[in-house]
Amino acid sequence: MDLGDGEVVLWTGKSGPRPRRRWLLYVLVPLAYYGMQLLISVILDQDPGYLVRITINAGICLVGFILLLPLFGRRQLSTGRYTVTDRRIVVEGRISGFPVRRSENLAELRTPELRDGSVAFGDRKSGKLAGHRPNGRVIASLVLYRIPEPEHVLEIIREAQARL
């Protein structure tokens, strides 16, 4: 990985297993959409061609959604391979099969917490922010999920933040 400017790698690791629930969203949303369109076509007594057009449109929307996920999902990426340097945290993972990389400066992140074997910057559920960028934009929560020796990694990150 290109670190540039004399950046020093302090720790690297990989996220532990995380339950996958999003597949349900990818299956249920198109099925619900298709079901509603089928119901509407029956109620309105539409011709069979209408149903074919709806199916094609739903397929195009689903494929477009899956292809756009990496663009919009990058700022939410929290699982994958982690690299902690003296200046930033880099997360490399995959979204919809596409490689995605997220990089956050340690100076812009709040002090992390230890939570369930993970090192967490912010919390989506409680609304805690991970930090702010210099331009004022909010940084989405960042969690290093189920990493080995989370206490040690937490200490490394806190020491690096204190040196900045």
Q: What is the pLDDT of residue 78?
A: 82
Q: What is the mean pLDDT of residues 55-78?
A: 77
For the ranges 37-51, 98-112, 114-128, the maximum mean pLDDT occurs at 98-112
Q: Looking at the whole model, is its pTM more than 0.85? A: no
Task: Taking the CA atoms of 68, 71, 75 and 81 in sequence, report the sign of the dihedral they define.
Answer: positive
- For residue 70, the Cα-to-chain-centroid distance in whole angstroms is 9
- For the ranges 24-28, 125-129, 146-150, the lowest mean pLDDT is seen at 24-28
pLDDT interval class at 18 (50, 70, 90): low
At residue 20, does pLDDT exceed 70? no
Backbone angles phi, psi at 77, to 5 degrees: -60, 125
Q: Are 164 and 14 in contact (CB under 8 A)?
A: no
Report the amino acid identity of residue 42.
V
